[in-house]
Amino acid sequence: MPAPAEKTEPQPLLTLSGVGKRFGEFSALSDIDIAFNAHQAHCLLGENGAGKSTLCNLVFGIHQPTSGVMRLEDAPYAPANPRDAMGHGVAMVHQHFSLINELPVIDNLLIGKKFGRLNRKAEAEKITALATEFGLDLAPFEIVGDLSVGQRQRIEIVKCLMQRPRLLILDEPTAVLLPEEINSLLDVCRRVAESGCAVVMVTHKLAEIARVADRVTVLRGGRAVAHSAEPSNDMDALVRAMISREGGAGDNRNFGVSALPPRNPAPHRGPRPEAMQIDNLSFVDEIGVKRLDSVTLTITEGEIVGVAGVEGNGQSELGSILAGLSRATSGRWFAAGREMTAAKPRQITAAGVGVIPEDRHLVASIGQLSLADNLQLGRMQRFARYGLIDRKDQREAASTLMQRFDVRAPDSQSAFSTLSGGNQQKAVLARELTTPNLRFLLAAHPTRGLDIGAIEAVYTFIRQAADRNTGVLLISSELDELLAVADRIVVFYRGRIIGERPASSDNRDHIGLLMSGKTP
């Protein structure tokens, strides 16, 4: 009986050494050392803004590094653009598809690849054989616009595989897929890796990493803070690296909360009234994926409840429903005893609910308008005089808010878009925290993109609101901030609340385990 063949160690196909990328004064990536091996699937894990997509764009030639070197096998690799990268055998499936919906599948696949007279039947047979080789179901002559999102993504993958790439990058490939489509895609990733290709997949979903990854690199604040060659066994450590500032050398983003004194809520006789109640809330998105699953939560007046969880586990959908931007599929929710389940944003505000959405530019402000206008969005009727706006009265009110909340700008007539990120966020806070009869505040990622001083200011204002008996739901991917600011923390996983703990540093590891889906 012949001796079993020795298992050979995977060889690095692409190596990055000391790679960094700056956009002006902003450092998106710093000192990245990483190797992507042939025959392996390598997952890049990290929260939004960690630098995952930037790293992929460097490898694919969309951007060029500011520092460091890349080597493909044993030769220098510095693609000037995506076409150059593809010429070196590097392909990328982007988050957003680049298909022409009016054309059939085969025409989308052959655009730019075939010239002259085409035998469409012969080409369709080749494409079908390639798709079948990797377990992809493809109908070459169907119109793309008639296909599901998952089917369109298969086309994008086949388009890349037609090049027979040495390295395939998939940037957040499962973000828009149904559960069964996700399983199919992960199977494809394994097949592609086993064929000899190096597969790089960007994700923040832990279940996908456990299923497909041979190696994992965790990015945080633009740095590689952890590596694992046994991700299934190291999942707890990977989660801690992703959420803990201790894992990210040089990332001092969360130190803004270190200046906050311990929270000591004022004593209250008897049970506190409810500020907000969620009762069995579920949400199914437009492609049929259940994003929230029977969520029940109560927040009392003066209480700050933090929502922890790896992004993509239903927190954004919950925030959208409570802001009146989405409608729950089932269940109900109440603010200060009033049902808000079917309420519109204006009605929610009138009920005494303040909303700090996670995207202040898209939802919370209008950049072209003045600071004064943004401070009074939704309440301009206060300054109406015989059908006209009393601008003097409005400017005085704006100046009062600017002083109270330390919003720094040349004057209240400055365009909102010209303010720094911190001052924009303080302006949104000023408006929402002065909502008449404020009883409940939704704060979704209120410090994202802010510097240390702005972080401290934002949380000081939120705490002051709680001290005035406002109930607060604080959604954040920064566990350090939740531990420093909240009274208790609930953990979301796959659209459910799977655990709750007091907001104490002693509970950090336990909360990290819950975030990875492990329950006692």
Please say if the pLDDT value at position 162 is more than 50: yes
Two tokens at 418? 């010209």
The reply to whether 234 and 301 lie within a common domain is: no
The reply to whether 61 and 201 lie within a common domain is: yes
**Which runs of consecutive H residues, i.e. helices, occur in 137-216?**
149-161, 179-194, 206-212
Please say if the pLDDT value at position 17 is more than 80: yes
Higher-confidence residue: 418 or 80? 80
Residue type (1 letter), 322 = L
Cα 69 to Cα 77: distance, rounded to the nearest angstrom: 8
Average the pLDDT over each of 211-225, 319-333, 351-365 and give the range with the smallest value.
Answer: 351-365
Strand partners of residue 306: 474, 489
Q: What is the structure's pLDDT at 269?
A: 65
Supply the CATH number for residue 285's domain. 3.40.50.300
Neighbours of 75 (CB within 10 A): 7
Query: Is 185 within 8 Å of 77 (Cβ atoms)?
Result: no
Q: What is the structure's pLDDT at 5?
A: 45
Establish if 3 belongs to a structural domain: no
How far, CA to CA in Å, does 99 sit from each of 6, 113, 299? 44, 14, 46
Radius of gyration of the chain (CA): 26
Q: What is the structure's pLDDT at 64?
A: 95
Using a pLDDT cut of 90, give the percent of the chain over it.
Answer: 41
Please say if the pLDDT value at position 267 is more than 70: no
Establish if 299 belongs to a structural domain: yes
Number of domains in the chain: 2
Q: Indicate the residue among 251, 280, 303 that finishes a domain.
A: 251
In the block, residue with structure tokens 């204006």: 346
DSSP 8-state secondary structure symbol assigned to residue 452: H
Average pLDDT over residues 357-368: 83
Q: What is the structure's pLDDT at 4?
A: 47
- The per-residue pLDDT for range 34-63, each reduced to its tens digit, is 999 999 999 998 876 688 889 999 999 999
- The per-residue pLDDT for range 468-496, each reduced to its tens digit, is 999 999 998 778 889 989 999 999 998 99
Two tokens at 66? 């500011």
Establish if 34 belongs to a structural domain: yes
Q: What is the structure's pLDDT at 251?
A: 40
**pLDDT category, 265, cuts 50, 70, 90?**
low
Residues across the chain? 520
Q: 7-16, 112-121, 284-293, 298-307: which has the highest mean pLDDT?
A: 298-307
Establish if 5 belongs to a structural domain: no
How far, CA to CA in Å, does 150 sit from each of 143, 144, 169, 309? 14, 11, 17, 26
Residue type (1 letter), 498 = I
Q: Indicate the residue among 221, 251, 281 that finishes a domain.
A: 251
Average the pLDDT over each of 3-12, 158-167, 476-485 and give the range with the smallest value.
Answer: 3-12
Q: Is the dihedral of CA 88, 17, 225, 50 positive or negative?
A: negative
The reply to whether 236 and 267 lie within a common domain is: no
**pLDDT category, 253, cuts 50, 70, 90?**
very low
In the block, residue with structure tokens 């029940």: 296
Q: Indicate the residue among 228, 251, 274 that finishes a domain.
A: 251
Please say if the pLDDT value at position 254 is more than 70: no
Q: What is the structure's pLDDT at 341?
A: 95
Neighbours of 151 (CB within 10 A): 17
Neighbours of 438 (CB within 10 A): 20
Cα 170 to Cα 362: distance, rounded to the nearest angstrom: 26
Two tokens at 456? 């401290």
> Of 121, 122, 191, which Cα lies nearest the Cα of 161?
191
Q: What is the structure's pLDDT at 16?
A: 96
The reply to whether 282 and 425 lie within a common domain is: yes
How far, CA to CA in Å, does 378 sit from each of 17, 48, 149, 372, 418? 51, 30, 37, 12, 21
- The per-residue pLDDT for range 79-119, each reduced to its tens digit, is 999 999 999 999 998 877 778 888 988 888 888 665 556 77
Ramachandran quadrant class, 256 (left: phi over 0; alpha: psi -120 to 50; beta: rest) = alpha
For residue 465, the surrounding DSSP H or E stretch is: helix 452-467
The reply to whether 200 and 288 lie within a common domain is: no
Query: Is 439 within 8 Å of 275 (Cβ atoms)?
Result: yes
Please say if the pLDDT value at position 386 is more than 90: no
Average the pLDDT over each of 29-43, 111-125, 165-179, 356-370 and give the range with the smallest value.
Answer: 111-125
Residue type (1 letter), 488 = R
Higher-confidence residue: 437 or 286? 437
The reply to whether 416 and 281 lie within a common domain is: yes
Average pLDDT over residues 224-245: 83
Establish if 2 belongs to a structural domain: no
The reply to whether 191 and 234 lie within a common domain is: yes
Q: What is the structure's pLDDT at 441?
A: 96
The reply to whether 116 and 211 lie within a common domain is: yes
The reply to whether 112 and 136 lie within a common domain is: yes
Return all residues near 3 (Cβ < 8 A) that are at least 6 apart.
none
Query: Is 276 within 8 Å of 335 (Cβ atoms)?
Result: yes
Query: Is 281 within 8 Å of 452 (Cβ atoms)?
Result: no
Q: What is the pTM of this model?
A: 0.67
Higher-confidence residue: 176 or 502? 502
Q: What is the structure's pLDDT at 250?
A: 36
Residue type (1 letter), 35 = A
The reply to whether 194 and 269 lie within a common domain is: no
Q: What is the structure's pLDDT at 138?
A: 84
Two tokens at 249? 């050398």
Establish if 382 belongs to a structural domain: yes
Using a pLDDT cut of 70, give the percent of the chain over it.
Answer: 89
- The per-residue pLDDT for range 426-475, each reduced to its tens digit, is 899 889 999 999 999 999 988 876 666 678 888 988 999 999 999 999 99
Average pLDDT over residues 158-182: 82
Establish if 407 belongs to a structural domain: yes
Cα 216 to Cα 234: distance, rounded to the nearest angstrom: 10
The reply to whether 163 and 286 lie within a common domain is: no
Establish if 146 belongs to a structural domain: yes
The reply to whether 291 and 244 lie within a common domain is: no
Q: Which domain holds residue 403?
A: 255-515
